Structure 1
Amino acid sequence: MLPFTIEQFLGVFASYNRAIWPAQVFAYLMGGLAFSLVFRKGRWSDQIIAGILASMWAWTGIVYHLIFFASINKLAYVFGALFAMQAAAFIYFAVSRSHLNFGYTGRPAGFIGVALVAYAAAIYPLFGLEMGQLPNQLPTFGVTPCPVTIFSFGMLLLTTAPVSRWLLVIPFLWSLVGGSAAIFLRVPQDWALLMAGIVSLALLIVRDRRMAPAG
């Protein structure tokens, strides 16, 4: 049993989207930059991409979860802390250890990564509108949990070196928690979040094992 109603849940999105405007536009610009840098590599491309992903997780954890969602669900404080931890993880692995290498290889993981990015940025909101959700009640790309998680899975599939399992733990957990909205809150576009978590984790594990040096 959820501690809030569907109406309260959608109301949080409506008030959140009004309050943060035009941050949604900036999020799309940053997401587009991150995606473009996968294909147009520069010296600091990997760090910029990771920084953008980190900022999305930090913003969503602090602003959405702690300030808005906590008004109807006290578990939002836990969610906010986890999202902040994921933001720190992106920074740590990209800057401190340089273990994030983004690029498109044309392999199945890369193809699905592109599909997930497209879904998070374009198909997700269109799906919501088609199902009758009002524009101001839509979970928005780059600043709300489920689109951020789907986008992150897509970007992690667009890597050319093994990805630390620590970077996958929180997104996978959120794919289960947030994906439950597809069932309990009638947010059908979040079925893809459940699938993104399972498919991305499996693909990355298989791909990274193949990349591991023999012996």
Structure 2
Amino acid sequence: MLPFEASTWLAILGQYNTAIWPLHGIGALLALVAVGLVIPGSRAAGRVIGLLLGVLWIWTGVAFFGGSLAPFHFASEWLAGVFVAQGLMLVFALTLMGQARFGWPGRLGGGAAMVVIAHAFVGYPLLDAALAATPWTQLQYVGVAPGPVMLLTLGLLLLVPSRPPLVLAIIPLLWALVTGYMAWGLGQWLEFLPAALGVGAFVLLLLRRFGGAARAGPRPGV
């Protein structure tokens, strides 16, 4: 069971949003730039995307889990470390190693990526505000909160046309599962939607990575 109730979770988000204002705008701008850099499709653009995503994960780990959540959750330091580790992995794999080029992967993958990314930017706050009457100060916003950062990352990984780096999707998948658990534990049923989107995005990444390899078949002479 979670060590707090839904009202406490919302109060934590409210305190966090108040403390970091107006950095929400910077977080959203960095996220928007990362999405826009998919269009050039160059390796250099992929390096910048990795850097921007890394910054967002590290910020969320340090400021949210290591700061605002720390007095309320016994595992907050561990969660902060996991988010920082994900940020460092993104920077290492995409920025330093340049392991992925981004671009349009096709109708299914591209459409799914757009749905996931759109929910990270607008679906998360708008649905909670409209359907759950959550105050604007207690919503999760892209670039600075764990749920939208998770969806943004998985959506962008879906925009790697060939051999998406699955290792970079494992921690986002785990947070999607945690989001589903929190939805059940706190009675916040709208949180099942981002959890399902996150798990679905990971399944698509698996299918594209291994399904594509299977369709390609063995190399000549093997």
- 5 Å-filtered alignment, 1:1-215, equals 1-42=1-42, 44-130=44-130, 131-212=132-213, 214-215=217-218
Q: Provide the rounded CA distance (Å) in 1 between the counterparts of 2:162 and 2:108.
A: 15
Larger radius of gyration: 2
Query: TM-score scaled by structure 2?
Result: 0.91
Q: Provide the rounded CA distance (Å) in 1 between the counterparts of 2:171 and 2:43.
A: 28
Give per-residue Cα distances to partners, 1:152-194, cap 9 Å, x unaligned: 1111111112123321211111111122222222333321222
Q: Provide the rounded CA distance (Å) in 2 between the counterparts of 1:5 and 1:206.
A: 37
**RMSD, aligned α-carbons:** 1.5
**2:47 and 2:96 in contact (8 A); partners too:** no
Q: Provide the rounded CA distance (Å) in 1 between the counterparts of 2:190 and 2:52.
A: 24
Pair 98,40 (structure 1): closer, same or farther in 2 beyond 3 Å: closer
* Unmatched runs of 5 consecutive residues or more in structure 1: none
**2:43 and 2:98 in contact (8 A); partners too:** no
In the alignment of these two chains, the number of paired residues is 215
SS for the counterpart of 1:38 is coil
> How much has 1:103 moved relative to structure 2?
0.8
Q: Provide the rounded CA distance (Å) in 2 between the counterparts of 1:35 and 1:55.
A: 14
Query: TM-score scaled by structure 1?
Result: 0.94
Q: Provide the rounded CA distance (Å) in 2 between the counterparts of 1:159 and 1:61.
A: 25
Identity score, percent? 28
> How much has 1:196 moved relative to structure 2?
2.0
SS for the counterpart of 1:17 is helix
SS for the counterpart of 2:205 is helix
Q: Provide the rounded CA distance (Å) in 2 between the counterparts of 1:80 and 1:68.
A: 11
